[in-house]
Amino acid sequence: MTSLTLVRHGQTDWNLQRRIQGQTDIPLNDTGRRQARQAGDLLAERRWDAIAASPLSRAYETASIISARLGLLDPHPLPGLVERHHGAMEGMTSEERREAFAAGAEVPGLETDAMIIDRVLPDLSAFAARHEGESVLVVTHGGVIGSLVKHLSGGELPAAGQLIANGSFHDFSLVDGALEIVAFNGTAVDEDLVPQDA
């Protein structure tokens, strides 16, 4: 068995402005760096063997801050763990998105949950397999974590009104090649807040 903990990157200015980031490479802001340090302090209560990250700078810098606090080697980049591609919505605020795309309207270039799972699971499973019997961290994005949790829970999680907060972490295990949820730490939020995959 391999224990995996997925961490959502710290805050960016676009998170603060409620803009949809997707695969646009927006860096952490000072709050995001503080959240990464806080996550590192909490994660230091457990033993870790390795760390990987989405190569987008907000995730990779979060992982670098955490790895320094934990005394780990530099994060291993996992290209399959980048955020959902939001196509024509990237850069829009939640309000702009609602004005441009009515509920249920097709968004050009928007990546589906199935497409995310198809690229996330192979990278995640391969990284976990290289660390059989160990405990590893993976820093990624809210949309990736949300899609994975939804897939593994049969759609029961995240519950309506739950947010995958910046700097939050969620436990999984890989047993005989099958990924399982151990602990999901969604936070209850107001429904009008930024989507988890922004």
The residues carrying an active-site annotation are 9, 83
Q: How far is Cα 6 from Cα 137, in angstroms, rounded to an integer?
A: 6
Q: Which residues contact 197 (CB under 8 A, 6 or more apart)?
A: 20, 22, 83, 84, 86, 141, 142, 143, 144, 146, 147
Close Cβ partners of 178 (under 8 Å, ≥ 6 residues apart): none
Q: Which residues are within 8 A (CB) of 45 and not within 5 positions of it... i.e. 6 or more apart?
A: none
Question: What burial letters (b/e) apply to 13-52, b meaning 16+ CB within 10 Å?
Answer: ebbeebbbbbbbebebbebbbebbbebbeebeeeebebbb
First to last CA, the chain: 32
